[in-house]
Every structure is written in structure tokens, then in C-alpha cells.
């Protein structure tokens, strides 16, 4: 089976996790990180999940899964090794046309979760279509070593510059060229070295007169990284 790669907005959406063990805890952590409104259905919880419930981070239904529990779900993750429960969850999710992932059971899934490296707003995902999670994990580790936190900061910088470039009113092809020139090959290394003066020089060289505007000064001053702090000249 070939899966269609997609990124979902789950902010504030009901995400149901069936199961309360270690696998469920990992899935819950990821759903919460991405803004999901999480409900866990399980008679028992791991200490981590119990802590999250006590902190008000998730809803807990302290029962086994029952037909009808998925009524308001946007997506469901079944993190249980009970095959009878898996089959029932699959049947209800299919009937209700709900997104479903059954951990480590591709035959019951209509979506799968890739191995992901997160660097701020940047996500790098690897999937083998469920054929080899071990290979996906290995590749994720290699990507994590290759792409450090500087890539999250780079994404933030470029994201803050994008509206400025678009506001210049240039044709689409000229915008593409500007974005390409802004993405200098050495930018990650400059960020890693905290070489803000060199970054400043590069931005002003590429943006030209627009770089002298008050908006650019505010953009740099309000950035979450310490742009005007110490750095290499």
C-alpha cells in the first residue's frame, strides 16, 4: 500500500487514544504537542498519563473501550494489543469515516505516523509505509544528527521575512528568486555560530532598500533568538 503524505491541523480537535500504556503515553505526548484535545480510554494509566490527567492536559475515561466512544473523534489511535478491541475500534472508525491508526498493525490503519524530527516549526518525516519501522527510526536518528536546532531558528527567520518580501509587490518569479537568495548555504552555520552581524549583512544585501525599513528593524529586534546579542563579527 502507498500512503499519501499529509500534515494535519489537529489544534483543538478531539483525538481519542484507546489504551493507557507506554505506547499510548508516547502518542498522547505527540498529540498534545501539536495542539490536539486528547481523550484517553483505558481502565488504567501509566504514571506519565496520570500526571497529565491530574494537570488537566487530557480527558480520561476510566473504562474499557465501548462501541460509540468514537462519536466526536477527529482521529483515533488504538494503542492496545487486544486484537478484539482493535477490530471493534476499526469497525467503528470505518463506519464513522474517522482517521485511525492502530499501533504496529498496518492492516487496521487508514493513516500511519512517520518517524519525525522536529526543529521548531520545521518537521522532517520518514516513512517506510509500515514496512520497516526500524529503518525509519534509524533514518530519523541520522536526520536528527544532521539537522540541529539552528534549522528551527532558520525556519523562524525565513518565516518572519516572508511577509516582508511578499509586501514588496514583486512578480511571483522575482519573489522566488529573492527567497532562493535569502536561503544562503552558510546560514545554518552562521546561526550555529551566533554570527548575527554576518546574517544582518546578508539580509541587507539581498533585500536592498527594503532592509532599511522600520519593519525589518522590528522584525529582527522582536525575534525569539537574541539577534542583537553577542556574536562573531
- Provide the pLDDT confidence category of residue 186 given band limits of 50, 70 and 90: very high
CATH number of the domain bearing residue 63:
3.40.50.720
In-domain check, residue 135: yes
Supply the pLDDT for residue 203. Answer: 87
Residue 224 clears pLDDT 70, i.e. is over it: no
| Position 227 pLDDT exceeds 80 | no
pTM: 0.80
H-only helix segments in the chain: 22-33, 47-54, 83-96, 133-146, 150-167, 172-182, 187-192, 196-207, 214-221
Inside any domain, residue 8: no
Q: Are residues 137 and 200 in the same domain?
A: no
Burial classification of residue 33, based on how many CB atoms lie within 10 Å of its CB (0-12 exposed, 13-18 middle, 19 or more buried): exposed
Residue 175 has pLDDT above 90, yes or no: yes
- Given this model, what pLDDT does residue 232 score? 41
* pLDDT (average), residues 40-68: 98
Which one of 113, 133, 159 terminates a domain? 113
Split into its structural domains, the chain has a count of 3
- The mean pLDDT of 163-168, rounded to a whole number, is 87
My answer on whether 97 and 139 are in the same domain is no
Q: List C-alpha distances in Å: 99 to 14, 76, 78, 92, 123.
A: 11, 6, 11, 11, 21
- Provide the terminal-to-terminal Cα distance of the chain, rounded to the nearest Å: 53
In a domain, 37, yes or no: yes
Q: Do residue 18 and residue 43 come from a single domain?
A: yes
Q: Is the pLDDT of residue 188 over 80?
A: yes
Instruction: Assess whether 109 and 125 both reside in one domain.
Output: no
Q: Which domain holds residue 118?
A: 114-147
Could you tell me if 161 and 215 lie in one domain? yes
pLDDT at 115: 92
Same domain for 179 and 127?
Answer: no
CA distance 156 to 135: 30
Q: Residue 2 falls within a domain, yes or no?
A: no
Whether residues 120 and 180 fall in one domain: no
Amino acid at each position: 500500500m502507498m500512503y499519501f503524505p499529509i500534515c494535519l491541523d489537529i489544534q483543538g480537535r478531539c483525538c481519542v487514544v484507546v489504551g493507557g500504556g507506554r505506547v499510548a503515553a508516547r502518542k498522547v505526548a505527540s498529540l498534545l504537542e501539536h495542539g490536539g484535545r486528547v481523550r484517553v480510554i483505558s481502565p488504567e494509566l501509566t504514571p506519565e498519563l496520570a500526571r497529565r490527567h491530574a494537570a488537566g492536559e487530557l480527558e480520561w475515561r476510566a473504562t474499557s473501550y465501548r462501541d460509540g466512544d468514537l462519536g466526536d473523534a477527529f482521529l483515533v489511535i488504538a494503542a492496545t494489543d487486544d486484537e478484539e478491541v482493535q477490530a471493534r475500534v476499526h469497525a467503528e472508525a470505518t463506519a464513522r469515516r474517522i482517521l485511525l491508526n492502530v499501533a504496529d498493525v498496518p492492516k487496521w490503519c487508514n493513516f500511519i505516523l512517520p518517524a519525525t524530527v522536529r526543529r521548531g516549526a520545521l518537521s522532517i518525516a520518514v516513512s517506510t509505509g509500515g514496512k520497516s519501522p526500524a529503518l525509519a527510526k534509524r533514518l530519523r536518528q541520522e536526520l536528527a544528527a544532521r539537522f540541529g536546532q539552528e534549522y528551527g531558528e532558520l525556519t523562524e527567520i525565513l518565516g518572519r521575512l516572508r511577509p516582508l518580501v511578499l509586501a514588496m509587490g514583486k512578480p511571483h518569479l522575482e519573489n522566488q528568486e529573492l527567497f532562493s537568495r535569502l536561503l544562503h548555504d552558510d546560514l545554518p552555520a552562521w546561526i550555529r555560530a551566533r554570527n548575527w552581524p554576518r546574517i544582518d549583512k546578508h539580509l541587507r544585501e539581498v533585500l536592498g532598500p527594503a532592509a532599511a525599513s522600520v519593519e525589518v528593524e522590528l522584525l529582527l529586534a522582536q525575534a525569539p533568538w537574541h539577534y542583537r546579542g553577542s556574536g562573531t563579527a
